[in-house]
Amino acid sequence: MIPTIDYIQAHFDAYNSRFWGGSLPPVPVKLSHAKGFLGKVTFTRRRQGLFGGYRNENFVLRINARIDLPEELVQDTILHEMIHYYIAVNQWRDNSSHGELFRREMKRINAEGNRHITISHRLTESQRTQAVRHKTRAVAIVHFEDGKTGIKVVPNKPQHIQYWHRAVMRTFNRPFSRLTQISRIEWLLSDNDYFARFPSSVAMRVYLIDNPSELPLTKTKNEKNN
Ligand SMILES: [Zn+2]
């Protein structure tokens, strides 16, 4: 699921009363479209007085709305960020970003709520695979003159496919090239997870495949011969 602000707000309220006795003040919620993190609590630390006091304020709770994740994980992410918020809004300082205070709260809520909150802001490998399952990739299957087969995943936009196709042919098949020539490129639009292992870009790089017969080659969109 991809959470909405209303969804996050409703869960914030429910978790606040269940796990913190409703003690957390309301916080602005924003959706994030970052690739790198699932959630984040941001705030400013303002100096107070002359002798080194600080106060955390201007809190914002951000939850990722770019990646389609299992609902459980979205909920655990909200809880994870609420623990950060709980610590910061009480003006406590933990001994590291997921230090003793954080872990104590995490254990308590995991036990009381039968949750699976972790100290990671990032996706595990299997979550990443789940998250990208619905993604359709443009896959070039590159057949070389010497019989070898290579794969390249290109961002799934016509202009990227066209650009890469032309550029890779120019690169490999230019006169007197010392690279093995390409005999033909097949294009495939695939949502098979197999292709998630290849970086998606327009870089002039082709990954050779050991067993081309094992490629999951269904849904051939079109074929170009050169
Ligand atoms: Zn964290």
Q: 198 CA distance to ligand 1 centroid (A)?
A: 29
Q: 209 CA distance to ligand 1 centroid (A)?
A: 39
Q: Is the pLDDT of residue 224 over 50?
A: no
Looking at domain 5-130, its CATH architecture is 2-Layer Sandwich (3.30)
pLDDT digits (tens, 9 = 90+) for 3-12: 999 999 999 9
Q: 49 CA distance to ligand 1 centroid (A)?
A: 29
pLDDT-derived band of residue 222, with 50, 70 and 90 as boundaries?
A: very low
How would DSSP label each residue in 139-176? EEEEEETTS-EEEEEE-SSHHHHHHHHHHHHHHHSSTT
Pick from 97-111, 125-139, 179-193, 194-208: least confident? 125-139
Q: How far apart are CA 29 and CA 90, in angstroms?
A: 19
List the domain boundaries for the chain.
Answer: 5-130, 137-225
Residues 6+ apart with CB under 8 A from 183: 143, 144, 145, 226
Q: 19 CA distance to ligand 1 centroid (A)?
A: 18
Residues 6+ apart with CB under 8 A from 200: 137, 153, 154, 155
